[in-house]
Chain A
Amino acid sequence: MAEPTRPPRGLLSDFRAFLASHRLLWLGPVALGLAWLVVLHLVTAGGSSAETGYVLS
């Protein structure tokens, strides 16, 4: 019996399929970045907003 042949797909639909099966690759940076933003916000909370340093103006 002849092997079933896969219909040829375009590069774009291949890429879409790749994105769907590798979500961590592109959602990871977003999640990491946002999590890091929260950490920084907590680390710098109550920081030196009064210390503006604008003495030259």
Chain B
Amino acid sequence: MSSPDGAGGARPRSRLRGLAFSVLALGLGVVLLELTLQGLSAFVPGVSGLLLVEGGGRPTDPRRIPDERIGERPNPDWFDHDARGFRNDEALERAAVVALGDSQTYGTGVDGAEAWPAVLGKGLGEPAYNMGFPGYGPAQMLLLLEDALALEPRVVVAAMYAGNDLYDAYKLVHVDRLGDALGGPSEAERAAIDAAEAETSLVDSVMVAYANRRVGLRGVLSRRCRIYGLLRATQRAFEDKPDPAAREAARTDWGLLTARAAARPGRYAAFEDERFKTLFTPGYRALAVQLDDPRIREGERLCLESIARMAELASEADARLVALFVPTKEYVFAELEREAPAGGETYRKLVADEERLWSEARAFLEERDVAIADGVRALRAPLDRGEQPYPMDHDGHPNALGQRALAEEVQRVIEGLGD
């Protein structure tokens, strides 16, 4: 029975209000925490390293720092980078040869001294300067050319990698809106690009295939929310970390590697014949070189136009430009894979697209009198001798032997240039 003064009704109402206030106060605390973490991660590198991720959901790569002109550039503070940030013993003032390229030139997976530009310098007996960096491609190289020519080289080598340079060039110009000096695509091409992008974001597709990037609400939270970053860092801090021996085994134990491939058939394909064993990543590579996608096609145009423009600018500075074709591991193994099929339809599509890319690139550059160093031939030669130019795991970068093969090919072309 309710009391005549209504006091019995007021108490539950005030309890409800107290509960609502408590929830609101807690919410306010969470918002304040998020704002504090946002502020800290913007100004304190240690905090941003802990809370932020790159697109792939991996920790922020400490080797790179933001750059207005080119998006990202190498970090001069990284242990084997020079004062400019590039991977050399010292920031040379003059160099006979300057190498521009991506991680294949930087030498991901090998020591700096084993990367092809360093091996080339030794072979030529002249200083060679490595300006390669993971994520760069011909469109980025064009933006860096002025810095390269400042070293007064007689040769600039521009290494174009089939595995992601077309995608990187498209992303730089059309997504990051940098490096638009090459003119836009035709109206029809523009419309095709917009239509394809409206259907699926190329960047999202590549990042999902590349590194399982989260998409949707969880993806937005993962990239934007610092409390989410704090929880992720907590999970990472307490998960089991493999010791060095286990990590080495994960790269070289074929049993473990084939088990990994079997568990992720969409991501890896295990190749094995009497002489060689390695993992392929055909899904990601095929996506980044699919020439029937208008965005990748545009990336190809940007890459080739960039190399042609670099050749002109180098010539004006009395330097010669050599274009080095760096194939994917999948393409290098293509003939052997035909004998011992491993990659399926996606692999065959990748090989067909890459075949077309190198054929079109060769025709385009030969017409403009640009010297070509053929990395395909160079990297297939060790296979003929029974030597494997790539590691056994899914790494698509040449090992020290593969890097040497690339260096020897570039040296052969440079020595044939004459004066």
The residues of A that contact B28 with a CB separation of less than 8 Å are 19, 26
B interface residue numbers (CB < 8 A to A): 17-18, 21-22, 24-26, 28-30, 32-33, 36-37, 40, 46-47, 49-50, 58-59, 61-63, 79, 102-103, 108-109, 134-135, 164, 210-211, 227, 230, 233-234, 236-238, 241, 247, 281, 284, 393-397
Q: Is the CB of B233 within 8 A of A26?
A: no
Whole-angstrom distance between the Cβ of B310 and the nearest chain A Cβ: 22
Q: A37 to B227: give the CA distance in the assembly, Å.
A: 10
Task: Say which size band chain A's interface belongs to.
Answer: 20 to 34
Verify if A4 is at the interface (C-beta below 8 Å from B): no
Q: Is the CB of A55 within 8 A of B394?
A: yes
Q: Is the CB of B29 within 8 A of A41?
A: no
The residues of B that contact A34 with a CB separation of less than 8 Å are 33, 36
Find the A residue at minimum CB distance from B32: A30
- Per-position contact with B for A1-45: 1 when CB-CB < 8 Å, else 0? 000000000000011001100100111111001101100110110
Q: A30 to B226: give the CA distance in the assembly, Å.
A: 13
Given the interface contacts A25-B22, A30-B36, does A55 sit within 8 Å of B30 by beta carbon?
Answer: no
Given the interface contacts A15-B21, A33-B33, does A54 sit within 8 Å of B233 by beta carbon?
Answer: no
Q: Is the CB of B59 within 8 A of A52?
A: yes
Selected contact of B25 from candidates A25, A50, A53, CB within 8 Å: A25
Give the total number of A-B pairs whose CB atoms are below 8 A apart: 99
Q: A14 to B17: give the CA distance in the assembly, Å.
A: 10
Whole-angstrom distance between the Cβ of B386 and the nearest chain A Cβ: 24
Given the interface contacts A15-B21, A25-B22, A30-B29, does A40 sit within 8 Å of B281 by beta carbon?
Answer: no
Q: Is the CB of A54 within 8 A of B32?
A: no
Q: A19 to B24: give the CA distance in the assembly, Å.
A: 9
Given the interface contacts A36-B230, A44-B233, A44-B237, does A55 sit within 8 Å of B25 by beta carbon?
Answer: no
Q: A40 to B40: give the CA distance in the assembly, Å.
A: 15
The residues of B that contact A44 with a CB separation of less than 8 Å are 50, 233, 236-237
What are the 8 A-B residue pairs with the smallest beta carbon separation, nearest first?
A29-B29, A26-B29, A25-B25, A33-B33, A55-B395, A18-B21, A26-B25, A26-B28
Q: Is the CB of A37 within 8 A of B50?
A: yes
Q: Is the CB of B33 within 8 A of A56?
A: no
Q: A57 to B63: give the CA distance in the assembly, Å.
A: 13
Q: A33 to B102: give the CA distance in the assembly, Å.
A: 39
Q: Is the CB of B58 within 8 A of A53?
A: yes
Selected contact of B237 from candidates A14, A29, A33, A43, CB within 8 Å: A43
Whole-angstrom distance between the Cβ of A18 and the nearest chain B Cβ: 4
The residues of B that contact A54 with a CB separation of less than 8 Å are 58, 61, 103, 108, 134
Whole-angstrom distance between the Cβ of A28 and the nearest chain B Cβ: 6
Q: A53 to B284: give the CA distance in the assembly, Å.
A: 16
Q: A49 to B211: give the CA distance in the assembly, Å.
A: 18
Q: A26 to B247: give the CA distance in the assembly, Å.
A: 43
Q: A30 to B39: give the CA distance in the assembly, Å.
A: 13
Q: Is the CB of B134 within 8 A of A37?
A: no
Q: Is the CB of A15 within 8 A of B24?
A: yes
Q: A21 to B103: give the CA distance in the assembly, Å.
A: 58
Q: Is the CB of A29 within 8 A of B102?
A: no
Selected contact of A37 from candidates B29, B32, B230, B238, CB within 8 Å: B230
Whole-angstrom distance between the Cβ of A23 and the nearest chain B Cβ: 9
Q: Is the CB of B26 within 8 A of A25?
A: yes
Whole-angstrom distance between the Cβ of A15 and the nearest chain B Cβ: 6
Given the interface contacts A19-B25, A22-B22, does A57 sit within 8 Å of B134 by beta carbon?
Answer: yes
The residues of B that contact A41 with a CB separation of less than 8 Å are 46-47, 50
The residues of A that contact B46 with a CB separation of less than 8 Å are 41
Whole-angstrom distance between the Cβ of B87 and the nearest chain A Cβ: 14
Q: A41 to B234: give the CA distance in the assembly, Å.
A: 10
Q: Is the CB of A57 within 8 A of B135?
A: yes
Q: A34 to B227: give the CA distance in the assembly, Å.
A: 10
Whole-angstrom distance between the Cβ of B97 and the nearest chain A Cβ: 24
